[in-house]
């Protein structure tokens, strides 16, 4: 198997702990080769090179951003080789996808689980959006969002990670809240139109995002549907008051929060609306999300 290691993940903690991970895997008799990312986007190139070299088990060692980059390297011409499986040793700031899969955050326990894991199918999401004025395509496996969510993710990526995923995300949330203004949005899901002034639109395949927020309690990785959460025209106080509820999944009872399931969503905004996927800023609206059912095997 090929391990793609992001040594800068979790504020450099992955690089510091890598020798322990390597030594443990070697002691367990695992056969692997490891390569290290050197810059943003490099994990995508390394994943594609691993495929070209004949590897069919690719393991992301890092956080959600590393997972996202690896996945985008595994997708070739819109699909993934059915023999390919994605593994995960979660070592990043948020590691929400690891929460979805119930993979331990402890390095050694995660390695043990990886070595005895079995593949399970998971849906992928395809995003078509704008980036620097041109149309781009990006894939994700856990969650993507537009609006306030995108603004927070942008700040998180520029913020020191020494405090860990949850505290970092909350700090950036409250900082972004000072200047953020809700957007006038038009969206359609499976042909049904919705219009209004919204805070965020969050498109989920997994249940957690934002460093442990239980954003999509009804989401499933392999049901062929997105679980879409719309945060309506919430004012700043309402956002603050509802943050604790998101960690419990009770935010869905708020009258300005709605949710639905769909295979395809298209979103347009009158103002600039940033889009994040797996915590990485990937573009802005207009954007289209499409489910690719059971497109990738993940090791659990």
Domains along the chain with CATH numbers:
2-117 (3.40.50.10330), 124-293 (2.60.200.40)
**pLDDT for res 156:** 78
> Low-confidence residues of the chain, pLDDT below 70?
92-93, 160-165
Beta bridge partners of 82: none
**pLDDT for res 110:** 94
DSSP assignment string, 53-72: TT--EEEEEE-HHHHHHHHH
Cα–Cα distance measured from residue 299 to residue 58, given in angstroms and rounded to the nearest whole number: 10
Residue pair 136/128 in contact (Cβ under 8 Å)? The answer is yes
Distances from the Cα of 296 to the Cα of 58, 79, 100, 239, angstroms: 12, 8, 15, 35
**pLDDT for res 158:** 74
Model confidence, pTM: 0.92
CA 10, 209, 173 angle in degrees (round to 5)? Answer: 80
Instruction: Express each pLDDT in 107-152 by its tens digit.
Output: 889 999 999 999 999 999 999 999 999 999 999 999 999 999 888 8
**pLDDT for res 169:** 77
**pLDDT for res 124:** 98
For residue 17 the two structure tokens come to: 């702990």
């Amino acid at each position: 198997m090929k391990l793609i290691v992001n040594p800068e993940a979790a504020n450099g903690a992955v690089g510091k702990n890598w020798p322990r991970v390597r030594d443990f895997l070697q002691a367990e008799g695992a056969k692997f080769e490891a390569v290290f990312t050197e810059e943003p986007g490099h994990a995508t190139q390394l994943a594609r090179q691993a495929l070209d070299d004949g590897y069919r088990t690719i393991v992301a060692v890092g956080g959600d951003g590393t997972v996202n980059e690896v996945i985008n390297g595994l997708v070739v011409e819109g699909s993934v080789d059915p023999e390919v499986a994605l593994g995960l040793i979660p070592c990043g700031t948020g590691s929400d996808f690891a929460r979805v899969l119930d993979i331990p955050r402890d390095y050694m326990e995660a390695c043990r689980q990886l070595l005895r894991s079995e593949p399970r199918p998971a849906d992928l999401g395809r995003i078509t959006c704008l980036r620097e004025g041109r149309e781009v395509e990006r894939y994700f496996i856990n969650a993507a969002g537009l609006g306030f969510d995108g603004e927070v993710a942008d700040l998180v990526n520029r913020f020191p990670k020494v405090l860990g995923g949850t505290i970092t995300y909350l700090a950036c949330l409250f900082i972004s809240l000072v200047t953020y203004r809700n957007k006038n949005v038009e969206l359609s899901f499976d042909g049904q139109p919705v219009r209004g002034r919204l805070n965020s639109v969050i498109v989920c395949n997994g249940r957690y995002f934002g460093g442990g927020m239980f954003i999509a309690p009804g989401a499933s990785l392999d049901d062929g549907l997105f679980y879409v959460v719309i945060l309506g025209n919430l004012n700043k106080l309402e956002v603050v008051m509802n943050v604790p509820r998101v960690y419990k999944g009770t935010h869905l009872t708020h009258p300005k929060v709605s949710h639905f399931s769909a295979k395809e969503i298209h979103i347009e905004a009158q103002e600039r609306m940033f889009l994040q996927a797996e915590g990485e800023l990937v573009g802005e609206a207009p954007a289209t999300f499409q489910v690719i059912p059971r497109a990738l095997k993940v090791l659990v």
